[in-house]
Amino acid sequence: MSSVLKISDLHVSVGETPILKGVNIEIRQGEVHALMGPNGSGKSTLAYALAGHPNYTVTRGTIEVDGKDITEHAPDERARLGMFLAFQYPVVIPGVKVADFLRHSVTNVRNPDRREGEGLIGMREFRKELRSRMTELGMDHEFARRYLNDGFSGGEKKRMEILQLAMLQPRFAILDETDSGLDSDAVRVVSEGLARLSGPEMGVLIITHHERLLEFNAPQFTHVMLGGRIVETGDAALAHDLHANGYATVRARHPEAAADEATAKEVVA
């Protein structure tokens, strides 16, 4: 039986400002979902709330994995349950090598009951797997010796996150505008890498403005967010339509959400 990530009536605020206003999505392992919407609609807020970011407060609703409420779980607990977030702007960590970071991450996710002080996953086993994954993704093995995202180009940072995805093998992967700031060649590399890793064991939520990341990852479900709520859901054809025609007709069909969007922009300004 496949695992299910269920988001029910989710309301999220940042400080005193309400951003999400009742989001409902259900994602099963093996499914690819796209979440699209204009700037300020709440897409990244949803991603950070799912990851457990402390600055994003859930004021109502629940996040569940296989019926277990994880709304109050810490980020590391969510990771151990199979949640993964690829950031729009990956963090730079000077002095920490890619290989060391991944070895610790893999150990903590695969051995959630490991006690403090217990050893990491075996070095020989880890290196063999890491090299195999890097070869599969077309990455130079020397990449693992570099410091995490330090001096990386935008494309290298995003490929690093795809490598993390490959090593951690989560049940649910949330990609928050992974195509942001990348040229067409880099987006193609990331899109192909994600397609290689997707399968029946991983549910994917791709948050994007554009269609490029969906080229090799056609969504079974496309959700449109406006004013902090999901206003429409369709298939891959809906993503194509949004890419071609924008959000004007969506706003016209959902004036209440469009009004909330305008108010939110005034608050931010």
pLDDT of residue 116: 61
Rounded to two decimals, the pTM is 0.89
Mean pLDDT across 219-225? 96
Mean pLDDT across 153-157? 85
pLDDT of residue 115: 65
Instruction: Tell me the residue range of the domain where 119 lies.
Output: 4-268
Mean pLDDT across 148-162? 88
For 23, phi then psi, to 5°, come to -90, 135
Across the chain, mean pLDDT equals: 89
From 60-64, 127-131, 176-180, 262-266, the region with the lowest mean pLDDT: 262-266
CATH of the domain at 110: 3.40.50.300
| End-to-end CA, the chain | 46
Burial of 39 (0-12, 13-18, 19+ CB in 10 A): exposed
Give dist(CA 7, CA 83) in Å, integer: 13
What tens digit of pLDDT does each residue of 67-103 get?
A: 999 999 999 999 999 999 988 778 899 999 999 999 9
Count of structural domains within the chain: 1
- Decide if pLDDT at 248 tops 60: yes
Residue with tokens 């890097």: 134
CB 50 within 8 A of CB 174: yes
Length of the chain measured in residues = 269
